Amino acid sequence: MANRGPFNLYEFFAGGGLAGLGLTGFRTTFANDLDRAKAASWRANHADPDILKLADVWDLTPSDLPGRADLAWASSPCQDVSLAGARGGLDARRSGAFWGFWRLMTGLAEQGRAPRLIVIENVMGLLTSNQGRDFAAVCQALHDGGYVFGAVEADAALWLPQSRPRLFIIASREPVAGGEEGEHPFHTGRIRAAQAALPDELKAGWIWWRLAAPARRNTDLAALLQPDQSAGWLDETSAAALLDLLSPLHRARLDAVIASGERRVGAAYRRVRTENGAKIQRLEIRFDGLAGCLRTPAGGSSRQFVVVCEGGRARVRRLTGREAARLMGLPESYALPASEVAALKLMGDAVAVPVVRALADQILRPLLERGVRTAA
C-alpha cells in the first residue's frame, strides 16, 4: 500500500501506519517508531519501506526530516499523557515522547520549515490528566509555536462497530475561521469543559473545527467476524469458567439473550473491579453490536472475547487479529504480523482509519487547499 497525494506528511509514532493509510491526499515523506515489530508492520504495508526510521523520537534531529511537511501527525503513546513535567535538560526523555516530538517541531520552525498543520491524537484522558495541566501544556506549546488549534472527540463507533473515543487536536499555522462551539456531536461535553478551563490567552487561539457526522453505520460486530466453523472456540469447561466471572447483572444480560434462542453476538473483556472493598476479576459483556475498545493485550488478560449465543447456548472465543484489523477499518490486504498477540498489540495501539479519513477529507485537505489557493 502507498499513500499518494500532493501533500507531504510526517507520520510520528507511526505504529502500523494506520494514520497514513487514512490520510488520503497525503504522501508520507517521513515516518518514525521505536518498536521493531511495529516498524516491520509499517514497512510490510508500505510501498516505500525505507521512509520509516526505527528510532526513539528523542534521537531524531530536524536534519532527519526532509523538506517541509504540510502535516505532521503525532499519535504519541497513550500511557504517556503526563506531559506537563520537565521539558528539557537531563530529565527531558522522562517528560514524555510528546516533548521529543515537540522539540523537533521547534527545531523545524527555527529553520523556517514548521509544518503547516499538526494533528495530535491521544486518549480522552489527556483532557483531564494532571488536573488538565497536560492538555493546557500541549495547547500552550502549539500557541507558542504560532499555531491556532482546537480539538474534537471522535468515537470510531460512528464509522465502525468498535467503541473507541479518541481526542484529535488539530493545529494550523495559517489563520482559520473555525465555526461555533457545540454545533455538532464532536464538540462533546468533555471537549467543551477542557476548552473552558484553558487560560484566556489559549482560548483566544481556539478553533471549533467542523466535522460532519457520517451516514448511519450499517455494519455491526457480527458482520466482521470470521465464520463460526473456522473459529477456535473455548472448550465448555473453559467457557463456563470465564462466564462464571460475570457479575449478577451481566449474567442476567447473557441469560436473557440465550433464552431468546436467537443468534446474538456479544463482546466481553475481563476487568479487575473493586467490590465490597476487594479487588475481583469480572467478565463484562455487551450486546449492543459493538466491540469494546481494542487495547494492547498485557499478559493476555485484556484480550477481547467474542460470545455467540444461538439455539439456547453460548459459545466463547477470543477475538482474532484479523477481526481486530477489520474493527480498525483496515482492508483485508493489510499484512498482519504472524503472531496473534503481535497483531492484537498493533491494532490495540492504532488509530481507526475511517476517522482519520474523515478528518483528512473535511478539515485537513480543505485547509491546505485553501492555503495553496491563497498563496497562488
- For residues 234 and 316, the answer to whether their CB atoms sit within 8 Å is yes
Among 16, 25, 145, 161, binds ligand SAM (CB under 6 A): 16
Take residue 21 and report the three cell numbers written for it: 493509510
Residue with cell 527545531: 107
57 binding ligand SAM? (CB under 6 A)? yes
User: Of the candidates 1, 34, 44, 258, which one interacts with ligand SAM according to CB under 6 A?
Assistant: 34
Query: What letter would DSSP give residue 197?
Result: T
- Of 266 and 329, the one with the shorter C-beta distance to ligand SAM is 329
Burial bucket for residue 98 (CB in 10 Å: 0-12, 13-18, 19+): buried
Q: Which of 9, 10, 15, 30 binds ligand SAM (CB under 6 A)?
A: 15
Stretch that binds ligand SAM, among 125-133, 157-165, 225-233, 346-354 (CB under 6 A): 346-354
Exactly one of 246, 351, 363, 364 binds ligand SAM (CB under 6 A); which one? 351
Beta bridge partner(s), residue 345? none
* One character per residue 295-334, x = contact with ligand SAM (rule: CB under 6 A): ----------------------------------------
Size of the site for ligand SAM (CB under 6 A): 21
Beta strands in the chain (DSSP E): 7-12, 26-33, 52-54, 71-74, 117-122, 148-155, 165-172, 264-275, 278-286, 305-310, 313-318
CB nearer to ligand SAM: give 53 or 317.
53
Shortest Cβ 13–ligand SAM spacing (Å)? 3
Residue 211 is a binding residue for ligand SAM (CB under 6 A): no
Residue with smallest beta-carbon separation from ligand SAM: 15
Grouping H, G, I as helix, E, B as strand and the rest as coil, residue 321 is helix
Which of 1, 44, 78, 109: binder of ligand SAM (CB under 6 A)? 78
DSSP string, 273-312: EEETTEEEEEEEEE-SS-BPPP---STTTT--EEEEEETT
Residues engaged in binding ligand SAM (CB under 6 A): 13-16, 18-19, 32-35, 38, 56-57, 75, 77-78, 97, 100, 349-351
